[in-house]
Each structure stands twice: as structure tokens, then as C-alpha cells.
Amino acid sequence: VEKWPVNPVDIFIKQLQACKPLVVADMGCGEAKLAATVGKIHTVHSFDLVAYNSLITPCNIADVPLANSTVDVVIFCLALMGTDFIKFIREANRILRTGGKLKIAEVVSRISEVDAFVSELELQGFELKHKDTGNKMFIMLEFVKTKPSPAKLVENPGLLKPCIYKRR
């Protein structure tokens, strides 16, 4: 990411800097750059498996310690790491208020079929509002929560390819 022309977290930061105060959940936050940058404007809950600093709550992002319908924006910035990502999306649905936004940035090479990926998220209670495929490294998607996820979890593991890290 350091060598990319733009880091998608910087795009999310710029978007949030233009908003009135919101409650934001940064899922798979890494070092919590989002909270460090916009935390004085917004209430930012940063979650990751490891707490790299005091801004981060360590947990599995499929089960975060927030109450139902308490968040305005959920962000997954290069964070849908597992092939069981639907559990993460369902958790986002649980904590988002109806009408809340789900923002996703994911590496282009991981999404085998964008339309099928979008359709799966729509089945989980979201409506696609914006799709940006203009960057050759990552895709950005914005959804709005329209309803709760269905009670039964049906996983479609082929929608995201596993993360493969290259040694450079």
C-alpha cells in the first residue's frame, strides 16, 4: 500500500472530514489511522485482531463490542481478509443504523466477480449507492443499510479470493 499512488484510507479520511459528527466503526483498522486523523470530529471505534495502539479495541470483527444499530458508518479498508467475509458484513449490518453507510475498499485482484459480490451484499440487507473501479489497485464500494441481514447465514466462499502476500 505504501507504494500505491493513493491509499484508500486517505480517501475515507477525506470523505469523513467533510461530514458532520458521526459514529464510525473502522473494521480491521490496522494502526487506526482513521481514528488518529478524524477522531476529534467523529466518534471512531477501531477494531482489529491486535491492538497496535491505545485507539484499537482488539477483537474478531465478526463480533465487535457495540450495541445493535448504534453506528452511522462502517468502513472495511482492505480488511475483508477471510473468505468468511460474510460474517463481517453481517456484523456491520447488526451495528449499523438503518440508512447507515457501509464503505468498502478492497484489492481488485481479490474480487473475482464484482456484480456477484455486490449481489451478495444486497442479500445481506444493503443497497449499492456507489461503485468506483477507477483505481487499478483497489475497488471502492458504498452501500446503505436498508434492512437487517437474513436470520440464516449462507456463505459463498468463492466471491473473494484469499489474500496472498508477495515477498518483495
CA distance 155 to 50: 26
Q: Which residues pair with 57 in a beta bridge?
A: 47
What is the biggest distance separating any 2 CA atoms in the chain, rounded to whole angstroms?
43
Q: Walk along the chain (168 residues) and give the pLDDT tens digit of each residue.
A: 667 778 999 999 999 999 999 999 999 999 999 999 999 999 999 999 999 999 999 999 999 999 999 999 999 999 998 778 899 999 999 999 999 999 999 999 888 899 999 999 999 999 999 999 999 889 999 999 999 998 887 766 566 766 654 444
Map residue 49 onto helix, strand or coil: coil
Q: Which three cell numbers stand for residue 14?
A: 477525506
Q: Which three cell numbers stand for residue 5?
A: 499512488
Map residue 99 onto helix, strand or coil: strand
pTM confidence score: 0.92
Nearest 5°: CA angle at 97, between 20 and 130? Answer: 70
